[in-house]
């Protein structure tokens, strides 16, 4: 007869990635609200809980109409909805005034091997792009758009 398999606690079955995630801030927000409430002070809580009011009728009607509309049946295209992608891009892409700039993300390049080098920060990456590809970029940190580069197109004289 073999020995029973050791049982693992729920915590030991959680992946390292999940186990290393930070807890929700909601319980901390709730705890902060309890103290003044206990002292009789009025508090508007923005933490966890159940709403104490009904969902507005226009919201219910809109939700029902969306569920019944056949355009919403089935799966979304793997690449997403083009009109939604455009709307998101319009909100998240800075539009410069009076110049033609591109704001590519640095994510795909940072830490990758490029012509034998692995740039570790945006300054090193900007230097590498200038030396090796003759592409001049400005790290986004220099003008308030961290995570992106600013580049413009110009013709050599």
pLDDT tens per residue, range 6-53:
566 665 677 777 777 777 777 887 888 888 889 998 887 777 777 778
The residue with tokens 């966890």 is: 48
> Rounded mean pLDDT of 139-149?
82
Q: Is residue 36 part of a domain?
A: no
70-107 pLDDT, tens per residue? Answer: 988 888 888 888 999 888 888 777 665 666 677 888 88
Q: Is residue 69 domain-resident? A: no
- Domain for residue 109, yes or no? yes
Residue 1 counted as domain residue: no
What does the alpha-carbon distance between residue 155 and residue 157 come to, in Å, rounded to a whole number? Answer: 6
Q: Is residue 146 part of a domain?
A: yes
Q: Evaluate whether residue 26 is within a structural domain.
A: no
| Number of compact structural domains in the chain | 1
Report yes or no on 104 lying in a domain: yes
* Residue 78 domain flag: no
Answering whether pTM is above 0.75, one says no
Q: Which domain, by its residues, includes 129?
A: 98-152
Residue with tokens 């398999």: 5
Burial of 117 (0-12, 13-18, 19+ CB in 10 A): middle
DSSP string, 71-122: GGSSPPPTT--HHHHHHHHHHHS---SSS-EE--BSTTTTTS-BTTB---SH
DSSP 48: S
């Amino acid at each position: 007869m073999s020995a029973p398999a050791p049982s693992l606690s729920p915590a030991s079955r959680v992946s390292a990635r999940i186990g290393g995630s930070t807890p929700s801030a909601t319980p901390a927000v709730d705890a902060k609200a309890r103290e003044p409430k206990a002292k009789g002070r009025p508090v508007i809580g923005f933490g966890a809980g159940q709403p104490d009011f009904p969902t507005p009728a226009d919201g219910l009607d809109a939700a029902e109409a969306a569920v019944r509309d056949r355009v919403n049946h089935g799966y979304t295209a793997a690449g997403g909805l083009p009109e939604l992608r455009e709307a998101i891009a319009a909100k998240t892409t800075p539009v410069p005034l009076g110049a033609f700039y591109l704001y590519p993300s640095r994510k795909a390049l940072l830490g990758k091997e490029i012509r034998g080098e692995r740039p570790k920060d945006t300054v090193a990456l900007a230097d590498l792009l200038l030396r090796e590809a003759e592409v001049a970029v400005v790290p986004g940190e220099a003008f308030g758009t961290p995570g992106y580069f600013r580049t413009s197109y110009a013709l050599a004289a």
